[in-house]
Amino acid sequence: MDRVIVAGGGLAGVRAVEALRGKGFEGALTLVSAERHRPYDRPPLSKAVLAGDSDDTTVDTDWAALDVELLLGDRATGLTLAAAGGGGVLATTAGELPFDGLVIATGAAPVTLPGDGRQHVVRTIDDSLALRERLVEGARVVIVGAGWIGAEVATTAARKGCAVTVVEAADTPLAHALGPEVGALTAPWYAEAGVGLRTGVKVASVGDGHLLLADGGRIDADEIVVGVGVRPEVAWLEGSGLDVERGVVVDASLRAHAGGAARPDVVAVGDVAAWWSERYRRRLLVEHWDTALNAPEVAAATLLGQDAAYDAAPYFWSEQFGRMVQYAGFHAASERMVRRGDPADRGWAVAWLTGDRLDAILTVDRPRDLVQARRLIAAGTPVDPGALADPDVPVRQAARS
């Protein structure tokens, strides 16, 4: 393999570059990034950057030592594959780039709402800096979506003295991510922070300085922020022959597939990769920092012909309304839920189990619980549900001998 191209300049892209060099790849290496900035971390965008505590989250890496060609401000626009295993050509706004190996790391784009009014999203450093300038005391800020991003933006806007209203189509915050029962436990946080929360409200469109609601109502605003999710950037792969189901279909080794057959010369990582998890016996599309950080090691090994598989339990965190919220695992198919502590208290947790297997855990201001549970999830260690439900028993001691 003489030439590898990394399509995508986010964290997954730069980690793929580092992993390739770290594993001994000495050929030509090009990173194509749609953004003009060097790769940077996204989690601080809705936290430290929006709050004004940071202006730069650039990933610290030695580009000179990596000997990589950076094409910043250029994006992938198409892909032509040669015969199986034979490389191909990546079409970009900088021209056609032939390759022997390709890493797809084009990430995801935020979903926006219909209408010609101004709506902010928080996906890039430019998005965050532009919104930060408008979060001034007394500004009427309406946030559509009570998910992770919506709650974090609401937290910062309220602290800056804005009059904040969050509008959510579901009946509770975080209903999609955690389910309505657990999501409802976070609803009181909004009132405590002086943030208005309106659930069960669907938005029709964004107008000039207002939201039009599906029931004909209207909410006036100085600034409208939309946080209703993202979609993998896969439109540019149309006609390429690669299998796409929401994201790029990859196996446990992160190899892309075409017509159901694995392509050893193409891998995908980060928000764009729909990878097969043996742990959960299903395909996962995990749009979080931890996956973008760690999966590229496996992708690079696979591309270089080494045996590797990625099957980490998903992990993410959120800082909202003065609380550290952390989640590890995957609970969509779990049999039952166990509460650990009283949600009326400052710190509590919820665990999901199948039989005596710990599938996932959500912790609020209980970081030790998260660390210990994450180890049990990774190891597949059986647990005692009764002990797990007792907040005075360390999670590690809930493990069955």
Q: CA 342 to CA 328: how far, in whole Å?
A: 20
Q: Mean pLDDT for each 10-residue chunk of the chain (401 residues)?
A: 96 98 97 96 95 95 96 97 86 97 97 97 97 98 97 97 98 96 97 97 97 96 97 97 95 95 95 94 93 97 96 95 96 95 94 96 98 96 96 96 74
pLDDT for res 83: 80
Domains, the chain, ranges and CATH? 3-109+231-303 (3.50.50.60), 112-226 (3.50.50.60), 322-398 (3.30.390.30)
Could you tell me whether strands 357-364 and 348-354 are parallel, antiparallel, or unpaired per DSSP bridges?
A: antiparallel
pLDDT for res 86: 82
pLDDT for res 330: 95
Long-range contacts for 76-79 (Cβ within 8 Å, ≥24 apart)? 76/7, 76/8, 76/32, 76/34, 76/106, 76/236, 77/236, 78/236, 78/237, 78/239, 78/240, 79/236, 79/237, 79/240, 79/242
One-letter amino acid of 379: A
pLDDT for res 85: 63
pLDDT for res 125: 96
Q: CA 102 to CA 88: how far, in whole Å?
A: 9
pLDDT for res 84: 64
The DSSP result for 130-154, as a single string, is HHHTT--TT-EEEEE--SHHHHHHH
